[in-house]
Amino acid sequence: MGRPVTIFTGQWADIPFEKLAPMIKSMGYDGVEIACWGDHFDVDKFDDEEYLKGRWAILEKNGLNCFAISNHLMGQCVCDNIDVRHKGILSAEVWGDGEPEGVRRRAAAQMVKTAKACANFMKLRPASMAKSPIEPTVNGFTGSSIWQWLYSFPPVPPSAIEEGYKDFAARWTPILDEFDKVGVNFALEVHPTEIAFDIASAERALSAIKGHKRFGFNYDPSHFGYQGVDYVKFIRKFADRIYHVHVKDAWWGHGNGEAGVFGGHTEFTDPRRYWDFRSPGHGDVNFEEIIVALNDIKYKGPLSVEWEDGRMDRVHGGTEACAFTRKIDFPTSDVVFDSAFDKSNQ
């Protein structure tokens, strides 16, 4: 199918964007999914045409395209119960005095800016570049006021969970309305700590915001397998809501039995862990089945590598991951093989 192969710059935010771009090209990628942190993309400059053109100039100089931007860190703070962890991922302006509701409101305002930045940025794509196969898209997180109640003890009343989904809808519906005004999709990366972390919770989140057309998913199989969630079924179940795709791998069942699915408060790469993230092709995700399902739903968007593997050099891994992604992708057929037996086709 020849989908473009891109890489998410979030895990490379310690490298200035202008220096990172040629590195990404040398690894073999067609483009980037730009993170809105580090110096990679400043959403506060959403209406600064010179700045936005400057981002494109860096990409064009290095033969790279862009089809989506991502603002996971800001989205996380829209619904979360704010604490000291969030101070470490927010700017001083958004953190402010740290009063939780103020932080959530400022984060929501930043997500609206992100939608406007994405819309304006994508409109300035140089004529020399291939058009995007997807609508302008912002990937990210939503946060959740109820994640801490994942394990229901002391028993959590169903009404408390329902209030969490109502809170999500109340905070995100106005944001999604602003996304709609500028023609941009929001793609939630279904993930632990979010309002949606598996198929059941994704259905509930979609229902809570009444199927808002701008709300969909940044599909990432690495967050499902170790939970026991059918990551191929997710694609087929939400076929019309797969707005973007991450190629990211994980393995599970490889620890020594001391730390389970919840991680045992161990760090990534700890050999006791039941699961961990791996470079694409080195984990347990069946990408063959994923590509078949993506072909079946006619997804034509980018395959964006989100590279995380604490056991491997990232340039080596990123290069290898690009080649792996190209290898697993394949075009669909317009002809069913046994139709060749039909005399009218001979």
Decide: 171 and 101 in contact? Cβ < 8 Å: no
- Can you give the pLDDT at residue 262? 95
Of the listed ranges 150-159, 181-190, 283-292, 327-336, the least confidently predicted one is 327-336
The pLDDT of residue 337: 65
Local structure of 59: helix, strand or coil: helix
Q: What is the pLDDT of residues 268-308, one digit of tens each?
A: 999 999 999 999 999 999 999 999 999 999 999 999 999 99
pLDDT above 70 coverage of the chain, percent: 97
| Average pLDDT for 117-144 | 97
Q: What is the model's pLDDT at position 115?
A: 98
Write phi, then psi, for 286 (nearest 5 degrees).
Answer: -90, 90
Q: Are 192 and 228 in contact, with CB atoms under 8 Å apart?
A: no
Question: Residue 333: its pLDDT value, please?
Answer: 79
Element (H, E) at 250: strand 249-252
Q: Is the pLDDT of residue 226 over 70?
A: yes
Is domain 5-345 in CATH 3.20.20.150, yes or no? yes
pLDDT for res 346: 66
DSSP conformational letter for 259: B
Query: For 330-342, what is the mean pLDDT?
Result: 73
Mean of per-residue pLDDT scores for the chain: 96
Residue 92 CB contacts under 8 Å (≥ 6 apart), including other chains: none
Domain boundaries, the chain: 5-345
The residue-averaged pLDDT of 146-155 equals 95
pLDDT, residue 332, reads 84
Q: In which band, very low, low, confident or very high, does the pLDDT at 343 lie, cut at 50, 70 and 90?
A: low
Question: Is the pLDDT reported for residue 28 higher than 60?
Answer: yes
The pLDDT assigned to 331 comes to 85
Closest C-alpha to 139, from 67, 182, 189, 177: 189
Beta-strand pair 275-278/249-252? antiparallel
Q: What percent of the chain has pLDDT over 90?
A: 95
Over residues 43-85, the pLDDT tens digits come to 999 999 999 999 999 999 999 999 999 999 999 999 999 999 9
pLDDT at site 339: 67
